[in-house]
A and B are shown apart, each in its own frame.
Chain A
Amino acid sequence: QKEVEQNSGPLSVPEGAIASLNCTYSDRVSQSFFWYRQYSGKSPELIMSIYSNGDKEDGRFTAQLNKASQYVSLLIRDSQPSDSATYLCALRMDSSYKLIFGSGTRLLVRP
């Protein structure tokens, strides 16, 4: 089993809808979680980080973490065509320098 699992998609949603992106992980000692957005041909850029159980909101983005169930999700409200990209989930285990990435979910927001 991969350490970080994401559905590759594409996830297609209409403009204005809520996009829900999910990520599961296998290691219970994972402590830090990150969502990156990557446009085609570009490098990943950080959207959100979350470290404790619950929700964290930043503008149209909400990250949700449930350590007991070992999943982290990203909700994008009022989706825009400019949100169309691949979203990468990443985690860092406690006291580790390494970021471990999922293979990403491609999101397509239809105008």
Chain B
Amino acid sequence: DVKVTQSSRYLVKRTGEKVFLECVQDMDHENMFWYRQDPGLGLRLIYFSYDVKMKEKGDIPEGYSVSREKKERFSLILESASTNQTSMYLCASSFTVGHSNTEAFFGQGTRLTVV
């Protein structure tokens, strides 16, 4: 079974703090993603990576950065946390078969509260 593990299930941080969310997958997937999920807005893509050290902006990258130094690990960084970044953060991974990409498998989510 694919396993995508996020480092924390719940986090509470203060406004202005630098926050790191870690995600590790054990299936040698090329592609990794960070989404946030908010009521009424659904899942929105923040950043994704299709290879080590490669990253692409998603739909809402402002206020976030990412790091992918190893294939299995994809980190989301909130440079200076703000209250509007309070959300559920979901990491996902998928692999590439030929020119196609497979379905994404999700981690358990990190519920971040910024106070």
Which A68-98 residues have a C-beta within 8 angstroms of B?
A: 88, 90, 92, 95-98
| Minimum distance in angstroms from A22 CB to a CB of chain B | 16
Q: Name 13 interchain pairs, CB-CB below 8 A, sorted by A.
A: A8-B40, A32-B103, A34-B104, A44-B43, A44-B90, A45-B106, A49-B103, A88-B42, A97-B50, A97-B101, A98-B33, A98-B58, A103-B41
| Minimum distance in angstroms from B48 CB to a CB of chain A | 6
Residue numbers in B under 8 Å from A90 (CB-CB): 104
The bracket for how many chain B residues form the interface is 20 to 34
| Minimum distance in angstroms from A63 CB to a CB of chain B | 12
Q: Are A43 and B42 in contact, CB atoms less than 8 angstroms apart? A: no
Determine whether B108 belongs to the interface, using a CB cutoff of 8 Å to chain A: yes
Residue numbers in B under 8 Å from A42 (CB-CB): 108-109
Complex-state Cα separation, A101 to B48, whole angstroms: 15
Complex-state Cα separation, A104 to B88, whole angstroms: 15
Determine whether B62 belongs to the interface, using a CB cutoff of 8 Å to chain A: no
Q: Are B103 and A34 in contact, CB atoms less than 8 angstroms apart? A: yes
Determine whether B56 belongs to the interface, using a CB cutoff of 8 Å to chain A: yes
